Chain A
Amino acid sequence: MTNTIQDTVTVADTVHKSEGGSGWILHHVLDSHKIDFTPFGSINLPHLSLFGLDISITKHIFFSWIVALLLIVLLVIVAKSYKKSLIPKGITNLFEIIIIFVRDEIVKPTIGKGYEYFLPFHLTIFFFVLLSNLFGLIPYSTTVTSNIAVTAALAGISFVAIQFAGIRSNGFFGYFKGLIPSGMPALLLIIIIPLEILGLFTKPFALCIRLFANMIAGHVVILSLIGLIFIFKAFVYVVAPVAVGFALFIYLLEILVALIQAYIFTMLTALFIGMAVHQEH
């Protein structure tokens, strides 16, 4: 019953917005409770709730599961290929390059000794973010990481990982004591302590916003460029090639951005973990 009501609302919205509003862009970018396969119809996703919390499966959650499944399948294939022989072959080569890059260029130099413990976490973050970013470039798919809730969750995981790493290597009190630079006058502590506590949260907050903004921006730009064609209906033969050309350029740029953002997210997480592990005293 609620589904039908919502559907009619959405359809009405879409019709309303197609008249020149910006809603249709949001419609493509925002999370929703159905997977749209226009013009082949759509699949409605189930509504769930747990202890009063709405945990309905949304489009972004559904695609994050697809990303996760694809990752498991691909990486199991890679892992199996190593059992046959240690010489990489086929897709193993590609994955090996990325894995070695994450290990030798991101995690090893930032965390240093004992980096092996954090390697699975960083590899998972990198591959999950990378594949999520790249998934947005597939038609009918969606960018999981352009949902601020998803990036907030990832940043939250980073936050927990950073605090855990710091406490693990410095001890609970040692870690929080190490946050404050030594030799501070007592008066300055009044300013420093709130600043440092704020600093703990700004780091993952920046991670969250950076990834979200970067991933949504490209899509909004592409959709806006395509939208130009419909706005300038009268000059469609002039505007269409230009708009499509620019959209294509942005699309290619998105591939680069997808790689860079996955790298930055992992790199900064590793950096913060490294800073938490090796505190300056």
Chain B
Amino acid sequence: MLTGLNLSILIFAFEGGGTIIDVNPGVIFWTIVTFVILMFILKKVAWKPILTALDQRESSIRESLEKAENAKEEAEKILLKNQEMLSKADEESKKLVNKSRKYADGLKEQMLKESKEQAQKIVNDATLEIERQREAAFEELKSQVAEIAVQAAEKILRKNLNMETQKKIADNFINEITKN
């Protein structure tokens, strides 16, 4: 009954002819023929187009990724450049403001100095003028006083000068000269 499960019978005994380890040369022949033809047909109609398509897709994905990466890098570069430019512009403007402020300050100071000088000069000029005017006035006064004095003296002399007094004065004069 249980011979149905006996493996030794499976391999070694089968009245219908043949066992499972019978190697039929015809089958080997046909399998090789089938396989070789199948391989060449598939190589032509299937493997080549499929593998190229896969390669193409992979390379296109790789390219897209690389492109995206490049674009990102480019954008970052531009951003950096923009920032740099912005900061440069900021610096430039700061410099410009500083410069103009300095200039304005300088100008202010100079103007102040100049105006001060001008004022001083005016004052000086004025002082000089006043001095000159004063001196002139003094001179005039002096000459006028002298004239008046001479006139007054003339008037007095005309009134008091006589022979005696004239002689006294002349004597005194002569004495002084001899003493010297």
B23, A149: Cβ atoms closer than 8 Å: yes
Chain A residues within 8 Å of B18, by CB: 30-31
Contact of A149 with B25 at beta-carbon distance under 8 Å, contacts A21-B3, A71-B38, A216-B20 already known: yes
A120, B39: Cβ atoms closer than 8 Å: yes
A156, B47: Cβ atoms closer than 8 Å: no
Name 23 A/B residue pairs within 8 A (Cβ), A-sorted: A22-B10, A23-B15, A23-B16, A26-B20, A31-B27, A60-B27, A64-B34, A71-B42, A75-B46, A75-B50, A79-B49, A99-B50, A116-B51, A120-B42, A124-B47, A149-B28, A149-B31, A152-B28, A154-B35, A224-B5, A227-B4, A227-B5, A231-B2
A148, B20: Cβ atoms closer than 8 Å: yes
Choose, from A51-59, A188-196, A261-269, A273-281, the stretch at the interface. Answer: A51-59
**Residue of A26, A72, A76, A224 with most chain B CB atoms under a 10 A cut-off:** A26
Interface residues of B in 6-25 (CB under 8 A from A): 6-7, 9-10, 14-16, 18-25
A53, closest chain B residue (CB): B25
Nearest-neighbour CB distance to chain B for A266, whole angstroms, equals 13
B57 at the interface (CB under 8 A from A): yes
Chain B residues within 8 Å of A157, by CB: 32, 35-36
B149 at the interface (CB under 8 A from A): no
CA of A100 to CA of B51 in the docked complex: distance in angstroms? 9
A224, closest chain B residue (CB): B5
Nearest-neighbour CB distance to chain A for B70, whole angstroms, equals 22
A220, B41: Cβ atoms closer than 8 Å: no
A65, B39: Cβ atoms closer than 8 Å: no
B26, A83: Cβ atoms closer than 8 Å: no
A140 at the interface (CB under 8 A from B): no
A123, B42: Cβ atoms closer than 8 Å: yes
A25 at the interface (CB under 8 A from B): yes
CA of A123 to CA of B51 in the docked complex: distance in angstroms? 11
B39, closest chain A residue (CB): A124
A86 at the interface (CB under 8 A from B): yes
CA of A64 to CA of B5 in the docked complex: distance in angstroms? 29
CA of A75 to CA of B38 in the docked complex: distance in angstroms? 12
Chain B residues within 8 Å of A105, by CB: none
B18, closest chain A residue (CB): A30
Nearest-neighbour CB distance to chain A for B56, whole angstroms, equals 6
CA of A83 to CA of B56 in the docked complex: distance in angstroms? 11
B32, A76: Cβ atoms closer than 8 Å: no
Interface string of A138-178 (1 = CB under 8 A from B): 00000000011110111011000000000000000000000
A29 at the interface (CB under 8 A from B): yes
Interface string of A72-92 (1 = CB under 8 A from B): 100110110011001000000
CA of A83 to CA of B48 in the docked complex: distance in angstroms? 12
B161 at the interface (CB under 8 A from A): no
A69, closest chain B residue (CB): B38
Contact of A120 with B47 at beta-carbon distance under 8 Å, contacts A20-B4, A21-B4 already known: yes
